[in-house]
Chain A
């Protein structure tokens, strides 16, 4: 069994979760408080990765990051190398793929904060941004942790998207699930079993910890 794919996968999942906090919190804030009549369209887009087959998502990302697309071209001019079949390309795909797993618990948590508390803060002269940082965010801590852990765990197990976008480059895009798939294809069952067991135990431990800390983990889209 090689540790390289496991370390790579942890790095991918960790970075994905970190980026999703930065990207997901503003999206969730907007989804919670916006009164725009077409808001549901954005909600649907954010939730798309829940229903799309990973290969479909992976296909579009592959097209988007190819050197011929505007995004791929922009990336190439900025960094000097292509986005396709790199760790960064894979990270981009992972962020999209796990977006609902972060945004939904965030939105649900923000929406559960009593609006009176937010108004109370405003009448006490505290700006909207500071109110969010001092009232809404601390009171949503459990939901934010849930979103981080779910997106982390979801990235750990992704397969189809990686296969489409990342390919199978050892140390760059060869994640645990690809590694297991390869070992099985090569009829190397003992190696596959070892890696699978590591992933199974790891996922179980993470989810147990989260459930122990917070009973409302599988927070679905808030009913509003």
Chain B
């Protein structure tokens, strides 16, 4: 495929794990693939092999028709020639250079004038005005991250590789930058592969999620599918047991927002961003299941639904309901027996507005 990145390779560490990756993603548009998985699962190795920083023992990597790596033919294109932008987890800014020099570092072949123009574009894009003469050590974490992004984007890379882009930041800065990063990645022309172990980051940024476990890609799909319908227990354990569905904001009152989710309507606490499109995430343990008449309750959301599946897991049962969208609830096995929860039963699911998590898209 001409406009695809195709990779199928294997990297073996001496006396360590074997990392196997096989995937393809579009190479000609800003498509964000998130490699999601626990630490030590091999995500960063996959990224480093794509960058040409690590050499796999077997396999092939090609980018839009160009062969980057082929073990059988002994081809290994050096990182310099791959036209990538690699954002390191701790940014790897050059400590002896100013912000301006860091951003212009890859632009040595341009004239001084063209370089200054491009650096200024980047400074404006990433809101770094007034910091040009500072050194990295004189910047806050969030500012360092912006400089690193500016440096990576300045030479117009044809593929962006981001290694845990937000994990080195303190929580408030991370919250602030997460949405901004999504906007930035959408506004630039290259495809992106991003590594993270943070589900919120994955849900915010991803067009497609690839779950990595034990050195292998175990599930690939749209984020809501991967998070709501894990293929097996291993993936379920990694993504956490929760419902993730796409939602559209409707009416807004009193700091609450009404969400159209499937054919159902949910009230949730509005996000600061007041976005229109969301992923809604509901933890299974926050869903209460009732049968019969409803008691008065402080909870805002009562959803009538039908049980499609009850699966015991230790002391609890995982109950899947169809209530306009697929909702997962976690109840004790005792409660499931007392209430007679079984497939086909009609129940009401109750969810507090404050437990519904909104992820702006």
Binding site for B on A (CB under 8 A): 114, 116-117, 119-127, 130, 134-135, 138-139
Contacts and interface: CB of A to CB of B under 8 A. Distances in A.
Contacts of A126: 80, 105-106, 108
Contacts of A114: 92
Given A124-B151, A126-B106, A119 B80 contact: no
B155 A120 contact: no
A210 B78 CA distance: 40
A125 B108 CA distance: 10
A50 to B, nearest CB: 31
B92 A120 contact: yes
Nearest to A118: B92
B209 interface: no
Given A117-B94, A135-B94, A139-B95, A122 B88 contact: no
B142 interface: no
B278 interface: no
A124 B106 contact: yes
Contact of B53 (A119, A134, A135): A119
13 contacts: A116-B90, A117-B92, A121-B94, A122-B78, A123-B53, A124-B152, A125-B80, A125-B81, A126-B80, A126-B105, A134-B105, A139-B95, A139-B96
Contacts of B88: 116, 119-120
A115 to B, nearest CB: 9
Interface string B26-45: 00000000000000000000
Nearest to B106: A124
Contacts of A134: 105
> Which applies to chain B's interface (DSSP): helix, strand, loop or mixed?
loop
B104 to A, nearest CB: 10
Contacts of A116: 88, 90, 92
A123 B105 contact: no
Highest count of chain B CB atoms <10 Å: which of A122, A135, A138: A122
Interface string B59-99: 00000000000000000001111111110101010111000
B220 interface: no
B95 A123 contact: no
Contact of B105 (A124, A127, A138): A124
A119 B161 CA distance: 13
Given A114-B92, A116-B90, A139-B95, A122 B53 contact: yes
B19 interface: no
Highest count of chain B CB atoms <10 Å: which of A124, A126, A130, A134: A124
Nearest to A131: B80
A199 B79 CA distance: 52
Given A122-B80, A139-B96, 9 more contacts: A117-B94, A122-B79, A123-B86, A124-B85, A125-B83, A126-B80, A126-B105, A130-B108, A135-B94
A165 B9 CA distance: 59
A95 B99 CA distance: 40
Contacts of B181: none
A126 B82 CA distance: 11
A125 B106 contact: yes
B79 A123 contact: yes
Nearest to A130: B108
A134 B94 CA distance: 10
A119 B151 CA distance: 14
Nearest to A116: B92
A120 B81 CA distance: 13
B347 interface: no
A123 B94 contact: no
Contacts of B83: 125
B328 interface: no
